[in-house]
Copies of this chain bind each other. A is one copy, B any other.
Amino acid sequence: MNLRDLRYILAIAEHRHFGRAAEASGISQPTLSVQLRKLEELLGVALFERSSKAVVPTAACERLIGHVRAAVAEADAILSVALTLRDPLAGRFRLGIIPTLAPYLLPLVFAPLREALPALEVEPWEDQTSAIVDRLRAHELDAALLATDLDGPDLASRPLFAEPFLAALPPEHPLAARAVVEEGELARDILVLAEGHCLRDQTLAACGQSGALGGTLRAASLSTLLNMVAAGYGTTLIPGLAAGAAQDAGIVLRPLAAQAGRTVRIVWRARFPRRGAVDAVGDVIAARLRGFATGGATGAV
Contact = CB atoms under 8 A, between A and B. Distances in A.
B75 A274 contact: no
9 closest cross-chain pairs (CB), A and B: A46-B273, A71-B74, A43-B82, A44-B86, A70-B74, A60-B85, A67-B77, A67-B78, A56-B139
A83 B139 contact: no
Specify how many copies of this chain sit in the oligomer. Answer: 2
Given A1-B79, A91-B59, A272 B67 contact: no
Interface in A1-54: 1-4, 6, 43-46, 49-51, 53
A92 interface: yes
A82 B49 contact: no
A274 B46 contact: yes
A110 B79 CA distance: 52
Interface in A75-128: 75, 77-79, 81-83, 85-86, 91-92
Contact of A71 (B56, B71, B271): B71
Contacts of A63: 81, 85
Nearest to A50: B271
Interface of A: 1-4, 6, 43-46, 49-51, 53, 56, 58-60, 63-64, 67-68, 70-71, 74-75, 77-79, 81-83, 85-86, 91-92, 139, 154, 269, 271-274
Nearest to A57: B139
Contact of A67 (B1, B74, B273): B74
Contact of A81 (B49, B64, B83, B86): B64
A86 B91 CA distance: 46
A83 B91 CA distance: 42
A124 to B, nearest CB: 17
A220 to B, nearest CB: 32
Contacts of A272: 49
A269 B49 contact: yes
A14 B41 CA distance: 31
A85 B64 contact: yes
A63 B91 CA distance: 11
18 contacts: A1-B79, A3-B71, A6-B75, A6-B78, A43-B78, A43-B86, A45-B86, A46-B273, A49-B139, A49-B272, A56-B139, A59-B91, A60-B91, A64-B78, A64-B82, A67-B81, A68-B78, A71-B74
Nearest to A92: B59
B271 A51 contact: yes
Contacts of A271: 49-51
Contacts of A81: 63-64, 67
Contacts of A60: 82, 85, 91
